[in-house]
Structure 1
Amino acid sequence: MKLKVLGCGGGIGSNSHTTAMLLDEDILIDAGTGVGTLALDDLLKIDHVFVTHSHLDHIAFIPFLVDTTGSLRDRPLIVHALPATLECLQKHIFNWHVWPDFSRIPDAVRPYMRYQPFAVGETIVLGSRRITPLPACHAVPAVGFQLDSGQASLVFTGDTTANDGLWEAINRITNLRYLIIESAFSDVKHDIARRSGHFYPALLADELNKLQHDAEIYITHLRQGEAELTMQEILARISRFDLRRLMSNQIFEF
């Protein structure tokens, strides 16, 4: 498996894009503004979008993706998510007011887009690739994902805060190689981090003590204007692991 980071920022501007990652050539993990960096030929190869949760920075480019490619494809784009997330997309985005309902265009039998619900812990198998939604704790229903090639696994937590279920699931993964985990706020903003369901360095340090594997760990969702401060706080608090900042265009092969 090959994962390319299209966007991993907590905001936009100055070449920062919100969360989106391209798995091989045909799968998106979230669809934030990073999707807009792809060429049309690349967009046409995408058959699946796996969505962690319904917040705009993770779903903003699903409408543009299906609108741009729908009439040029011979099969629907499949959007995989929790039932609550799919309901939110249907009710608040693809509702004919904000955007057309592409699950019924050109008709309900041959739509440009199809919704596919999943449950936490339910593995979706696409060829030799296994994608498993993991528990997350956020302001809205959310998941992370285990991406398993058979040889190794990468875990992307999505947006989450302290969550014992996540660590229980991760610690059961015997071939974990990479962990991408968020820290959306610096320590001084711990209150808003807690209220919005995000990590901050002090809490992240406590939670990483629950990880029972050695893995390469990358920090994502750093906010514009305080990314350097947040990374400094993380590195000052955590010495057990080799922690690095996730960067756009970074590629993981596993």
Structure 2
Amino acid sequence: MHKLLVCLLVFLLSYHAVAQQPVFRVVPLGVRGGLDESNLSAYLVAPTGSAAYACLDAGTIRAGVAKAVAQGTLSGTVDQVIRRQIKAYLLSHAHLDHVAGLLLNAPDDTSKTLYGLPGCLATLQQHYFNWKSWPNFGDAGTAPVLGKYHYQPLLPGTPETAVAGTALLVQTFPLSHGTGYESAAFLLRHGNSYLLYLGDTGPDAVEHSTRLASLWQAVAPLMRAGTLRGIFAEVSYPNAQPDNLLFGHLTPRWLQYELLALARLAGPDAMRNLPVVVTHSKPSADNLTQIRQQLEDANSLRLRFVFPEQGRAFGL
């Protein structure tokens, strides 16, 4: 009997270890929210074991890939990674710190699909790929149309869309990024596992919005089921930043406030040890040090905060 119990215990421990193996591999190409043009928001995501990546935002591409290649995180030359391993771009919004790398690398890139809310893709077409700001590498808009990038709008409330060239599926949710401006959250799925990426967003209370509340309603069942592997959320400023100077961003206090709203729907136990990847911190003075300390000091939900480093991969 004792032997049977030992075998059962070993089996359960082994099953738990397998169940906790990462489903997604993430390679940060850029992690900051401004000023340093070599380190702006961009994250490669693929199922573990795959080199077919979707890129979540595209503020920095070449500098981030170069660092990842130098560290041995990515295999191949910088050009090979950009041209062959990045299969598609998912753009939360069209601010330059989220699309500059895509624009600058477009001349030497291969054909790919650009996913985003219709307004985001319209900004790319009308204001960037218009032969005034940059040649028209898109497949619509100002002639001549070079057709390298295919615009694929993602409409909130519609079924999942397969991300071209990858084994990922995506749904999108609108976010409020300052008065009258829209950003997006992307819910990625591989198999039965999910990953949630939030572009820039202010808290509902400041934005006079219910968009984060609607997003939490949508993902709370995934939290209860234990299938949401992590949340990427921006924290641009420390708590001292006044609400009227947030410009559609979050502080540690406001992120905790929003995650507590999710916990009320999903249950606090479902949130324990949830990886929360902290993105988009402004690189001035000791912002990141303050943000890290303020998040940990108020971590009543026992979340696992992840502070990504450019070029260093991690699993979720």
Normalization by structure 1: what TM-score?
A: 0.87
Indicate yes or no: 2:178 matched with 1:116. Answer: no
Deviations 1:14-64 (A, max 9, x none): x96111011233421110124433210001112311100111110111112
Equivalence for 2:198 = 157
Counterpart of 2:100, as a letter, is A
Normalization by structure 2: what TM-score?
A: 0.71
> Aligned partners of 1:191, 1:250: CA distance in 2, in Å?
33
Moved more, 15-24 or 53-62: 15-24
Equivalence for 2:311 = 249
Indicate yes or no: 2:222 matched with 1:187. Answer: no
- The Cα shift of 1:11 comes to 2.5
Equivalence for 2:103 = 63
Equivalence for 1:42 = 81
Native 8 Å contact 2:196 2:230 kept in 1? yes
Residues 180, 104 of structure 1: alpha-carbon distance in 2 compared, 3 angstrom cutoff:
closer
Equivalence for 1:166 = 215
> Aligned partners of 1:90, 1:182: CA distance in 2, in Å?
26
- The Cα shift of 1:154 comes to 1.4
1:198 to 219, 242, 249: 249
Give the number of equivalent residue pairs: 246
> Aligned partners of 2:245, 2:279: CA distance in 1, in Å?
14
Residues 222, 90 of structure 1: alpha-carbon distance in 2 compared, 3 angstrom cutoff:
same
- The Cα shift of 1:170 comes to 1.9
Equivalence for 2:120 = 85
Indicate yes or no: 2:55 matched with 1:28. Answer: yes
2:138 to 103, 123, 137: 103
- The Cα shift of 1:107 comes to 5.9
Deviations 1:162-190 (A, max 9, x none): 22112112213241011111111111113
Deviations 1:178-236 (A, max 9, x none): 11111111111132454x11111221121111222322112111111211112212222
> Aligned partners of 1:153, 1:252: CA distance in 2, in Å?
16
Equivalence for 2:68 = none
Equivalence for 2:183 = 142
Structure 1 spans left out of the alignment, 5+ residues? none
Indicate yes or no: 2:277 matched with 1:218. Answer: yes
Native 8 Å contact 2:64 2:310 kept in 1? no
2:150 match: secondary structure: strand
Indicate yes or no: 2:92 matched with 1:52. Answer: yes
> Aligned partners of 1:239, 1:93: CA distance in 2, in Å?
44
> Aligned partners of 2:138, 2:254: CA distance in 1, in Å?
40
> Aligned partners of 2:290, 2:149: CA distance in 1, in Å?
41
> Aligned partners of 2:260, 2:240: CA distance in 1, in Å?
21
Structure number, greater radius of gyration: 2
The RMSD of aligned alpha carbons is: 2.3
Structure 2 spans left out of the alignment, 5+ residues? 1-23, 47-51, 66-77, 204-211
Native 8 Å contact 1:7 1:35 kept in 2? no
Identity of aligned residues (%): 25
Counterpart of 1:58, as a letter, is H
Native 8 Å contact 1:7 1:18 kept in 2? yes
Indicate yes or no: 2:298 matched with 1:228. Answer: no
Native 8 Å contact 2:187 2:196 kept in 1? yes
- The Cα shift of 1:100 comes to 0.7
Native 8 Å contact 1:4 1:22 kept in 2? yes
Residues 169, 251 of structure 1: alpha-carbon distance in 2 compared, 3 angstrom cutoff:
farther
Equivalence for 2:41 = 19
Deviations 1:39-94 (A, max 9, x none): 1000111231110011111011111222122xxx4xx3211111111111111111
- The Cα shift of 1:7 comes to 1.0
Equivalence for 2:7 = none
